[in-house]
Amino acid sequence: GQEMEKSREQAVLMFFYSSFISIPARFAISFIVDYTRFRLRYVLMMLAATIACYTLGLAWFNTTAGWIVTIIGFGLSGGTWGVLGNVTFPRYFGRKHLGAISGVCMSVLVIASAIGPAYFSYGKLILGSYRNAALSTLVLPVIIFILAFFTRNPQETKRADNEKD
């Protein structure tokens, strides 16, 4: 926030305001996923798009529009992430090995959470600012968005293969 000319209070308020978006978004997306045939790949695409939005907002956090886009994108991505984290593994892989799958996922999240701050520190050192470091991460949500088109539920693939036999 300091690099983007925002006070500590303004930076922290971003998290507070985004919670007013994240909580209703999580309920709405959960309802849609549970009570319709809405495919999780579209939720993943939404997550990637909202991450890209808040990353762009973060790059221009010093402007009012950037601050607002960061709040909205961060809130929507938080609500979307919560649904994907709870629904994907049982739906795609069943419940038999859910604990092991969740454990591996949590390990990856912890490692990624440690890499993120280091990346931004080195990004600032090499690229000259946190803005440039943030913009350099935009490639990841774009790749995830594109790859989401090709995701398929393994349970549905298995059923389709069994029906052919």
Two structure tokens written together for 42: 């579209």
* Rounded (10°) angle between helices 40-59 and 139-148: 160
Per-residue pLDDT tens, the chain, 165 aa: give them: 666 677 788 878 888 999 999 999 999 999 999 888 788 899 999 999 999 998 998 888 888 898 899 999 999 999 999 888 888 888 878 788 888 888 888 899 899 889 988 988 888 888 888 888 888 889 999 999 999 989 887 777 655 555 554
Helices (H), the chain: 8-35, 40-59, 64-93, 98-127, 130-136, 139-148, 154-164
Please give the Cα distance from 36 to 121 (Å, whole number).
43
Its pTM stands at 0.82
